Each structure stands twice: as C-alpha cells, then as structure tokens.
Amino acid sequence: MLKHIITTKCDRTCSYCIMKNVSVDEKYNLEELHDLYATLAVDFEQIMITGGEPLMHPIFLDIVEAARLFFKEVHLTSSRTEVAQDPGIASLFDSVTITFHSFEHIPKVNPCVPIYASIMEGDYEEILPMLFKTMGYAGLTINENHWEPNRIRFWDLPKPNNFSIRLNESGKCCSDMEMILPNLEVIDSFEKFMECENEPTCNTKTLELRRNSPVHQEF
Ligand code: SF4
C-alpha cells in the first residue's frame, strides 16, 4: 500500500514518535497532487493517508477527495479517537486506524467502515484485544518501538475470532514501502529518510510527471 504522510505536525508529543526528528515543508498544490496521484495509481490501488496528525492539515478534505478520485481504496490513520464515532469523517474511507495513547476512554465504534485500533508495544495489555473487539473495532495493531528493545512475540498474543491482530515490527513497517512526503516528494524507505532528518531528498525517487498546464495553484 502507498502511504501519504500529508503532514509531520501533531498536537501530541509522544517520545516514541518516528516523526520527532523529521522536518519537511508541506506543499499545498492540488494540481501537482493530482498529477502525482495519477502517476502512482498506475502501480497502487490503495493509499493510506497518515501523518503526524492528518486531520490537522489545512486542506485535509481536498486531499481525501483527490485520493478518492485516483485510488480504489483510501485508508486513514489518525490519533483522533472521535473519528471512530464520527460517520462524517470515517465514511470517507475504506478503513480507519485510530492510534490510542491511553485507554481511559475507548469510544464505541460507529460501524460504517472497519475501524482498527493501533497501540505502542509498551502500552500492550492482554485484555486489550478483547476490549477493543467488544467496542466494535475490527482489529488491533501493536507497533514495536523504534527506539527501544522489543518484548512481544506475535504467537504469544491472544487472537479473538473475527478480530485481526497485527504486530508491526520496528524497521519493517517503513522500509521498502513507497511513501509520499508532505512536500510531495516520493521515497521508498522512511528509515533512510529519518537518518537524513533535514535532507529528505537524499533518497527521493524522481518521478516524471505529466502536467497539462504550467500553472499550479499554490495555497
Ligand atoms: S500521535 Fe502519532 S504522530 Fe503524533 S506525536 Fe504521537 S506518535 Fe507522533
């Protein structure tokens, strides 16, 4: 699946955030985005809109609308738990993954699309898969911490019926995966991007984009 990191901005400050050392400008050029999506849709049927916190992007809905035009499936990852209950946002996508940072309030899911929960490995408790299933979630993804040793083995995890369990191994979730950065550059390994910090073009693939017009709308 293609990932589009539409922003690195977020209103949280998680210590384990893989974006914490990353700084890249955002480009709000819809015409260029359409050209890029048209090119990439030749090879990809699915796109994941992600961040940072994608709902903070000033033209979030325009980006989603563009993605719907070109890709067969459009998915969202967000840390806004209210999206789980908001059919106005959730129904724009084929699935939504909500990243949880505490479990004091796990909202019951509005079942208009599959909603998945995502947590960090350090927050994992054995009760969570069944708890999320009871609240209507379609599955749980456990993300290993890029900065710390890992302690969970997939085969040790409980696996309730009709509920997907996934362990995102650190180093594997972002390597060998095509990604669009907020400045609309395309890379094929986020790990190399993290190493580059402020030089995101060091692993950038050059894409030949067909543009019908030299005029691009800048926001
Ligand atoms: S919510 Fe996600 S993007 Fe935001 S700081 Fe935490 S890990 Fe990073």
Q: Is 204 part of any domain? A: no
Beta carbons of 119 and 143 less than 8 angstroms apart: yes
Atom of ligand 1 nearest to the CA of 52: 3
Residue numbers of the domain that contains 90 = 2-195
DSSP class of residue 148?
Answer: S
pLDDT of residue 145: 79
Cα(78) to centroid(ligand 1), Å: 9
Closest to 71 measured CA to CA, from 23, 24, 36: 36
Cα(144) to centroid(ligand 1), Å: 14
DSSP class of residue 126?
Answer: T
Burial of 58 per CB tally in 10 Å (0-12, 13-18, 19+): exposed
pLDDT of residue 172: 59
pLDDT of residue 37: 98
Q: Is 212 part of any domain? A: no
Ligand 1 cavity residues, CB under 6 Å: 10, 12-14, 17, 19, 51-53, 79, 99
Tokens of 217: 């709308």
Q: Which amino acid is at 212?
A: N
* CATH code for the domain of 172: 3.20.20.70
Atom of ligand 1 nearest to the CA of 79: 1
Atom 6 of ligand 1 has which residue's CA nearest to it? Answer: 14
pLDDT of residue 208: 31
Q: Is 36 part of any domain? A: yes
Q: Is 162 part of any domain? A: yes
Q: Is 101 part of any domain? A: yes
Tokens of 210: 């067909």
Cα(16) to centroid(ligand 1), Å: 8
Give the chain's domain count.
1
Three-class SS state of 154: helix
Burial annotation 76-90 (CB, 10 A radius, 16+ → b, else e): bbbbbbebbeeeebb
Tally of residues, the chain: 219
Q: Over the chain (219 residues), what is each successive 10-residue block's mean pLDDT?
A: 93 79 85 97 97 95 98 97 92 96 90 92 92 96 79 86 88 69 87 52 31 27
pLDDT of residue 15: 75
pLDDT of residue 105: 87
CA-to-CA distance for 164 and 106, rounded, in angstroms?
A: 18
Cα(152) to centroid(ligand 1), Å: 21
Q: Is 205 part of any domain? A: no
